[in-house]
Structure 1
C-alpha cells in the first residue's frame, strides 16, 4: 500500500483505522501487534496506533487510557479526518478501552467513529473465569492474572468495575447506553475463557438496535486473530474486508438517496 505521506487524496476523503492494542491494560505497543498490520494489508487503509498509558501505577490506571483514546480520536479529526471515515479495531483489553471511550463520547453527544472491529473483547472485569474448567484447560490465558489486571486497572474507581467497565454485565450507569454504537464486527474463539462475557455483550448491543456481525472461530483460543495465517474469504480477515466493503456500499447508497431526495425537493419547490 502507498505511504499515507504520499497520498494526494483530500484528507477529508481519506480513511483511517485507529488501533487499540491488547495486553491486559498493563503492556503492549501498537507497533508490535500483528493484528493491526494484517488489517492494514487486507483493507489497504493506514492504521493509527494509539499507545495509551498502561495501568502500571495508580496514576496511569483508569481513566488515563480512556483519556488518551479520546485525545487520539480528536487528534485524527484535527488533522482533517472525518469521523465517518474512521474505523476502530482492537483486541482483548484494547476493546474494553474503546467501548468505554464510545460510551463517554455518546453520553456527551460527541461524534463517534463509523465502524468497530473487536477481537476477543475483555468486557467483564468481575468474572474470575473459573466457572468453566474445560475452557481453562484449552485456552492459554491465565485467569488469575486477568483478574489481577482488572483490579489494577480499576484501582482509582473500583465502584465502576462491575458497571461501566464491565459492559458485558449490562448494568451501565445512568446516562450511558449502547444506542448509537457504530456498526460492529465481533470475533472470538470458541474455547476462550472470555466467550460467555462476549456473547452477553453482543446480546446487549443487539438489544440496543446496533447492527452486529459476529464470527466464532471453531476450536480457537483467545485473540486467535494474532496467530491465524488464514487470508481466505471465509476467514476472519476476509470477513473484515467484506464488513468494511458492505459499510462503504451503505454509505454510498445513503449519499445517492440523499442527493436524489434533494433533487426531488428542488423540483417540487
Structure 2
C-alpha cells in the first residue's frame, strides 16, 4: 500500500466526511462535489469530452480517448447517493479507463432526488441504454458500469434486461456498490467510524430522499433482491473499511447462487470509490489496470454464439 493511502483517508475522514455529515442542503452538496471534481480530477491528455443528446432519451457525456482501438463502449452510471454527482464529476475517471481500453464511454445524465425520486433515475438510465443500442452499438460491445448509487442503478438496469430478455451487455463492473436499501449488512454499523467518506446516517437520509416512500425491499429498488439468471460476468470491488463492504460481499454470493460469473476484489482500507482518485493515488491506477485486464478477457457473446 502506498504512503498516500493513509494521508488520503485521513483527509477524507476529517474534512469531506464531516462536511457531508453536517450538510442537509443538497444544492450545496452538489456545488461542493462539482468544485472538488474540477480541482482534483483530470482526464488524460487529448481526451475528448463532449455533451450531446440521444434520440429517444436525455443528454449524455461522451468520453473518448486520444486513440480509439476498440468497438467496446463503456456505459457508465455515476454515483452520488442519488442526490449529487453527474457525468461531469466522473468524466476524468472514465477518461482514464477509456484510455486504457482504447474505447469510448457514454455517461447518462439522470434526474436526481429529492426533486425526482424513484423511479426517475432508473427510467432515465434505461432510456439512455436503449438509445445507445438504437444508435447502432451492439449490446455485446457494451460494458455496463457504475459506482456507489450508480452501482445500484447498474444492477437495477441489468435485472430489468434479464427479466425482459433484453439485449444484455457483455459485462458489468461496479465500484463500492450500494445493493441493499435496508442496510442490513454488518459493515454498515461495524465500519461506521472507519469509513473514510460516507457518514452512515447521511447514507440512510439520501436513500430516504431517493425512495420517497417506495419499498426498499422491492427488487426493482434493492439489487440484492432482484433476479439475474442469465446475466453476463460481473466484477465488483470494495474497500475493507467501507460501510458498503457487505453490500458487495453479499451481492457477490447472491449472484453466484444464481450461476452468474462473479469476481469480487476487496482491497484493504481504501476509500469509497477510490478509482476516482487516479490522478494521485497509486492504488486507484492499479485497480483501473486490473479492471481493464478483466474487461479485455471477457468473451463477446457474439463470439460464443
With structure 1 as the length reference, what TM-score do the two structures score?
Answer: 0.80
> Structure 1 residue aligned with 2:286, among 225, 228, 235?
235
CA deviations over 1:206-241 (Å, ceiling 9, x no partner): 111111112111111221221244568992111111
User: Whole-Å Cα distance in 2 between the matches of residues 147 and 231 of structure 1?
Assistant: 31
Instruction: Please say if 1:214 is aligned against 2:271.
Output: no
1:45-84 correspondence runs (5 A): 45-57=103-115, 60-84=116-140
CA deviations over 1:66-114 (Å, ceiling 9, x no partner): 1111111111111110000011121110011111111112212111211
User: Whole-Å Cα distance in 2 between the matches of residues 5 and 185 of structure 1?
Assistant: 23
Range with bigger deviation, 223-232 or 200-209: 223-232
Equivalent residues of 2:141, 2:300 under 8 A apart? no
Equivalent residues of 1:66, 1:97 under 8 A apart? yes
Range with bigger deviation, 27-36 or 183-192: 27-36
> Structure 2 residue aligned with 1:116, among 172, 178, 196?
172
Equivalent residues of 1:136, 1:193 under 8 A apart? yes
Equivalent residues of 2:125, 2:157 under 8 A apart? yes
Alpha carbons of structure 1 residues 204 and 8: separation in structure 2 relative to 1, 3 Å: closer
Alpha carbons of structure 1 residues 8 and 80: separation in structure 2 relative to 1, 3 Å: farther
CA deviations over 1:23-47 (Å, ceiling 9, x no partner): 0001111121143222112212111
User: Whole-Å Cα distance in 1 between the matches of residues 284 and 271 of structure 2?
Assistant: 21
Q: List runs of 5+ in structure 2 lacking aligned partners.
A: 1-45, 49-63
CA deviations over 1:157-202 (Å, ceiling 9, x no partner): x22x12312233xx44xxxx11122211101001000111210111
- 2:205 matched to which residue of 1? 148
Equivalent residues of 2:238, 2:272 under 8 A apart? yes
Instruction: Please say if 1:31 is aligned against 2:88.
Output: yes
- 2:247 matched to which residue of 1? 197
With structure 2 as the length reference, what TM-score do the two structures score?
Answer: 0.71
Equivalent residues of 1:138, 1:221 under 8 A apart? no
Instruction: Provide the aligned length of Structure 1 versus Structure 2.
Output: 241
Equivalent residues of 1:230, 1:237 under 8 A apart? no
Alpha carbons of structure 1 residues 189 and 78: separation in structure 2 relative to 1, 3 Å: same
Deviation (angstroms), 1:130: 8.0
- 1:261 matched to which residue of 2? none
Alpha carbons of structure 1 residues 195 and 2: separation in structure 2 relative to 1, 3 Å: closer
- 1:103 matched to which residue of 2? 159
- 2:16 matched to which residue of 1? none
| Segments ≥4 residues shifted beyond 3 Å | 1-9, 128-134, 228-234
Alpha carbons of structure 1 residues 227 and 208: separation in structure 2 relative to 1, 3 Å: same
Deviation (angstroms), 1:14: 2.4
Range with bigger deviation, 18-27 or 212-221: 212-221
User: Whole-Å Cα distance in 1 between the matches of residues 139 and 65 of structure 2?
Assistant: 20
Q: List runs of 5+ in structure 1 lacking aligned partners.
A: 259-269
Greater Rg over alpha carbons, structure? 1
